[in-house]
A and B are shown apart, each in its own frame.
Chain A
Amino acid sequence: MTTNSPSKVHVTTTINGQQHELLVPGYMSLLDTLRELIGLTGTKEGCLDGNCGACTVSVDGRIVDSCLVLGAEVNGKVVDTIEGMATPEGLHPLQQAFLEEAALQCGICTPGFLVAAKGLLDNEPSPTEGRIRHWLAGNLCRCTGYDKIVRAVQKVSD
């Protein structure tokens, strides 16, 4: 196992249902891998230290801050990003609810909130308001004051 040069790592991963083979520099974040190597720029860079959640994606069904994951770490894993939420038939119900409830203003935090909220509802279809607020505590929004976001998520809850 040679570690003398920071060589690239061969990564095979499934992103939004599609298999990708990549050569990723060992130190490149998953966020940069998605945005710069694959061109999936829907995932946003915010704080780069795990506070804001703007870069939230799902890895093997668990939400993570993609700025704090290395691209090399998703070898053999399933990654889902904001680009995978809508289908050709239409928006995901959460996206539709965010529009209807005006749960966004500038929009930078929105992909992260949507992926995080989907991560909750996929496993817990009927969360309480408290549970929604707890789950989304790792996502910051400086525009909406959160109430509209929480209402949008509640609208899609059972």
Chain B
Amino acid sequence: MHPFAYVAPSTVAEAVAVLDEHGDRARPLAGGTDLLVKARANVWELDAVVDIKSIPELMKLSVGNDGLSIGAGVPCYQVYDNSEIAAEYPGIVDGVSIIGGIQIQSRAGLGGNLCNAAPSGDGIPSLIVHSAVAKIASVNGTREVAIEDFTTGPSRTVLKPGELLVSIEVPKPAANSGAAYTRFIPRNEMDIAVAGVGVFVQLDSSGKNFESARIALASVGPTPILASAAGDSLAGKPVNDETISAASALARDAATPITDMRGTVEQRKQLVEVLTGRMIKQAVERARG
């Protein structure tokens, strides 16, 4: 591992100044569960690591009428241990509960999961279907990027050298909505998704019809995929096996997987179709309370 300096600034301004000085030879450190693995494998050669966990803004987790705000350094366990988040954002909790094992969940969080930009990132599809937004800071100011636009390829994001993810902002879900995420792995725990599907549904007040839906896929393309046609196909339709099957088939069409050690193209497409159907049904169940 290339020797790097460790700095732990207490403000965003100090953090982005260090990141700006070092460009792509510096990285923010949240849980370190990807960063230290990549540094040790010399995927990244770093001169400085900027520990963001002393910056109060990046460790803030708040949930209320203006939605859910997740600081970039907040670890998974703080998200799933929060009963209010579990009640209002169960799809997000589905994701953070299956990232790594308990040791990893003590450190890893949604901010790092997003910035690591693995196509299989289990935390990302639920953020996409919730229409969440990333708040980004740099020495030049701040900007916001929709989560579905944040990752641009395996390990690649819209972040430019010197930019820092500050927080993920999730709008408060309306009444009669629900969300769910699951993945397929051949083990019970501690594995990387062969395919993953997140769903958000908005039902009408009767609970019998979809008003809108968003569906996002993991591990079946170079980035997590927003399957817009699949979600849009449910808008205004009744909740029944026919509409759910049609949306599931469209989700399958949106998947662009490769064959690798974890699964084949055909298996992954099949998994997307099956898991989409299951997650729509689960999201509907949760929406109906």
Contact = CB atoms under 8 A, between A and B. Distances in A.
B5 A68 contact: no
Given A49-B40, A68-B36, A70-B49, A138 B9 contact: no
B189 A6 contact: no
19 contacts: A1-B9, A3-B7, A3-B22, A3-B26, A7-B5, A26-B4, A49-B40, A50-B103, A56-B103, A63-B102, A63-B106, A68-B36, A69-B107, A73-B8, A75-B8, A116-B103, A134-B189, A137-B188, A138-B104
B100 interface: yes
Contacts of A72: 6, 8, 51
B32 to A, nearest CB: 5
B158 interface: no
A1 B18 CA distance: 8
Given A4-B5, A73-B6, A119-B102, 8 more contacts: A7-B5, A50-B33, A63-B102, A68-B104, A73-B29, A138-B100, A138-B104, A138-B190
B103 A27 contact: no
Interface in B1-15: 1-9, 14
Nearest to B40: A48
Interface string A105-149: 000000000001001000000000000011101110000000000
Contacts of B26: 3
B106 A62 contact: yes
Contact of B107 (A26, A64, A75): A64
B37 to A, nearest CB: 5
Contacts of A48: 40
B77 A27 contact: no
Contacts of B49: 26-27, 70
A42 interface: no
A3 B37 CA distance: 22
A29 interface: yes
Contact of A62 (B6, B32, B77, B189): B77
Interface of A: 1, 3-7, 9, 25-27, 29, 48-51, 53, 56, 59, 62-65, 67-70, 72-73, 75, 116, 119, 133-135, 137-139
A135 B102 contact: yes
A70 B36 CA distance: 9
A134 B102 CA distance: 8
Contact of B36 (A7, A29, A62, A75): A29
B101 interface: yes
Contact of B6 (A4, A26, A116): A26
Interface in B82-122: 100-104, 106-107
Contacts of A1: 7, 9, 14, 17-18
Contact of B3 (A27, A50, A116): A27
